[in-house]
Amino acid sequence: MTAVTPQPGRRSGEADTLTTSERILDAAEALFAEKGFAGTAVRDIATRAGLHPGSLYNHFESKQALYEAVLQRGLRPIYEILDRAADPEAPPGPEMLVALMAHLSASPALARLIQHETLAGGEHAMRFVRRWLEPVYARASLALERSPNLGDWDREELPLLLMTYHHLIFGHYALAGALGQVLDIDLLSSDAVERHTRFLVKLSERLLGTAEEGERGGNAT
């Protein structure tokens, strides 16, 4: 067991060395992902984090603030992946897909959180969309436009392409639990993640004409 220097952004790990705040964030992430914001009780988060509900307010100002902290912690690595992909210096290729897959399959709660929010509608969700989702789409859009065979699609079809990726990535991991059960597959096993990544690359090929070289994208997780 190597010494763990507490990193703000890190997920889980050896239980005893986790900050209380991190334990709360972990508990909250799991519960918000499963039951949504309204369906999650502060008491349950606290219990799961091993403390009493009141104590939670020593670490986060409110349920809402905790929720946003969970989102923030989860979304930052995604920004970084997309930023790297949008870097004009970087070579085009399936690396972004592979990296995204790896990240989401490692913390599937994140994908579910994002879908919950996107699904919600109303004031609250609109703020989320503006603050969190628009930057993601802006970056993804940049990355997409560097694809070689894009001319195959009309300009007005591009948003649909973007959304296709949204669904096949975020949607896939968000629903991995339920759909895995329907199909009797563990969609979060490393095999399945690898297969899904290959599938996405193949599909990209057919849609965009990219990634002819990239069937290897496997050692995810």
Partner DNA sequence: GATGAATGAGGATTCATTCAT
Partner DNA sequence: AATGAATGAATCCTCATTCAT
* Distance (Å, whole) CA 214 – CA 61: 46
- Residue whose CB is less far from its own copies, 4 or 163: 163
* Distance (Å, whole) CA 216 – CA 137: 26
Residue of 166, 188, 218, 221 interacting with its own copies (CB under 8 A): 166
* Distance (Å, whole) CA 168 – CA 175: 10
Tell me: does residue 172 bind DNA (CB under 7 A): no
Tell me: does residue 40 bind DNA (CB under 7 A): yes
CB atoms within 10 A of CB 187: 21
Closest CA to 128 of 173, 68, 188: 68
Size of the site for its own copies (CB under 8 A): 50
Q: Give the chain's count of helices (H) and strands (E).
A: 12, 0
Tell me: does residue 116 bind its own copies (CB under 8 A): yes
Residues from 189 through 218 that contact its own copies (CB under 8 A): 195-196, 199, 203, 206-207
Residue of 36, 42, 68, 135 interacting with DNA (CB under 7 A): 42
Q: Which residues bind DNA (CB under 7 A)?
A: 20, 40-43, 51-55, 57-59, 61-64
